Amino acid sequence: MNSHFQLDNPNLGKEDILYHIGLTAKDDLQSMFQDVKFVCMGGKPSRMQKFAAYLDDKLGKPETSRREKGELLDISGSAGRYSMYKAGPVLSVSHGIGQASLSVVLNEILKLLHYAKCNKDVIFIRIGSSGGLGVEPGTLVITDQPYNSTLEPVFLHISLGRSIPRPCSTCPDTRRELLNCSKNLGIPAVIGNTMATDDFFEGQCRLDGAFCDYSDEDKMNFLKRANQELGVKNIEMESTCFSAMCNRANVKSAVICSALLNRLQQDVVDATVQDMDKWQQQSFEVVAAFISNTVNDNVVS
Ligand code: R2B
Ligand code: URA
């Protein structure tokens, strides 16, 4: 049977305009995107452009990549909000900072796949940065359970004036495979829980934002509780929303983030640009290995 990924919103139709990604349901989305098997997302447009270029090379510059004058095309460039590239079966998309920005583009990407009648086995992976908790800077943290800022394992989605707890979880097979790929490549990685916040400063217990009304001791008590009682190994700003929306759409999701610093030791991100580039490149290598293995396994089976 030919089964497709499908959203169950009855209001979706031909007139839809995917305003933030510069496409419409009337475009020939099926011929452009039907072969997509992986959606990789990260905050920065430049990171997602570099990842797409790296992958395009690694996959042998497939014909199904989208190019213009030989260069990978920013498919969403005309809309001016997010960047989106297609390298073979992979969409590489930026989502900006935080859950609000992420949810806008993720809604439109899910609709895009729906209109494109993509295969149901699409995997969504967030490749990001984070503050580590008790891990060495440069370690990749692969998210097991995402927690929100009040340390509950849900994404609180506000709609019609109500706060709806949406369950969030990541795909066990994908996180195990990502860890295996890291080990095979000799890249430091751990699986751990992740706290997602709506703010980089007080929301992540920093003392050095524009405001602060708690003590260093309060901060350390909270961070240690998250780390020791709940196994939180990093803090970022999207994993609950990302995994909850993927769960709701019935697609697999994973989150893999470089830890830029150890938040049990400091607040300031003072890693060098060279180190951060190196760690970002390592996250690309791990995800690219995962993608190659998955594509090859599917060909064989
Ligand atoms: C990690 O880094 C960004 C904040 O600097 C945010 O998008 C996140 O999750
Ligand atoms: N991104 C975050 O959200 N927090 C950090 O500490 C570093 C990167």
Write out pLDDT tens, residues 204-250. Answer: 999 999 999 999 999 999 999 999 999 999 999 999 999 999 999 99
Q: Atom 2 in ligand 1: which residue has the minimum CA distance?
A: 129
Q: In angstroms, what is the C-alpha Rg of the chain?
A: 19
Return the percentage of the chain with pLDDT > 90, whole number. Answer: 95
Strand ranges in the chain using DSSP code E only, listed in sequence order? 17-18, 23-24, 38-42, 67-68, 71-72, 84-87, 90-94, 123-132, 140-147, 154-159, 162-167, 189-196, 232-236, 252-262
Whether ligand 2 lies within 6 angstroms of the CB of 195 is answered as no
pLDDT band, residue 3 (cuts 50/70/90)? low
Give me the sign of the Cα torsion angle 174, 178, 184, 185.
Answer: positive
Write out pLDDT tens, residues 134-182. Answer: 999 999 999 999 999 999 999 999 999 999 999 999 999 999 999 999 9
Q: Does position 34 have pLDDT exceeding 60, yes or no?
A: yes
Average pLDDT score, the chain: 96
Distance between the two ends of the chain, CA-based, in angstroms? Answer: 16
- Residue 32 tokens, joined: 């452009």
Q: Which pLDDT belongs to residue 5? A: 80
Q: Does position 69 have pLDDT exceeding 70, yes or no?
A: yes
Whether ligand 2 lies within 6 angstroms of the CB of 42 is answered as no
CA distance 73 to 56: 12
Angle between helices 172-185 and 273-300 (to 10 degrees): 120
* Structural contact between residues 5 and 251, judged by C-beta atoms closer than 8 angstroms: yes
* Structural contact between residues 124 and 39, judged by C-beta atoms closer than 8 angstroms: yes
pLDDT band, residue 115 (cuts 50/70/90)? very high
Interior angle at CA 75, CA 73 and CA 80, nearest 5: 115
Q: How far is the CA of 69 from the centre of ligand 2 (A)?
A: 36
Q: Which pLDDT belongs to residue 252? A: 97
Q: Is the pTM of this model over 0.95?
A: yes
Whether ligand 2 lies within 6 angstroms of the CB of 141 is answered as no
CA distance 138 to 125: 19
Average pLDDT over residues 111-121: 91
CA distance 126 to 178: 12
CA distance 117 to 155: 27
Q: Which pLDDT belongs to residue 297? A: 83
Q: Does position 1 have pLDDT exceeding 50, yes or no?
A: no
* Ligand found nearest the CA of 135: 2
Whether ligand 2 lies within 6 angstroms of the CB of 43 is answered as no
pLDDT band, residue 6 (cuts 50/70/90)? confident
- Give the residue, out of 130, 139, 263, 264, with the most ligand 2 atoms within 8 A of its beta carbon, to mutate for a pocket test: 130
Question: Which residues touch 192 (CB under 8 Å, ≥6 apart)?
Answer: 135, 141, 142, 143, 144, 231, 232, 233, 234
Q: Which pLDDT belongs to residue 2? A: 46
Whether ligand 2 lies within 6 angstroms of the CB of 235 is answered as yes
Cross-strand partners of 4? 119
Q: Are strands 189-196 and 23-24 parallel, antiparallel or unpaired?
A: unpaired
* Structural contact between residues 196 and 241, judged by C-beta atoms closer than 8 angstroms: yes
Q: How far is the CA of 269 from the centre of ligand 2 (A)?
A: 8
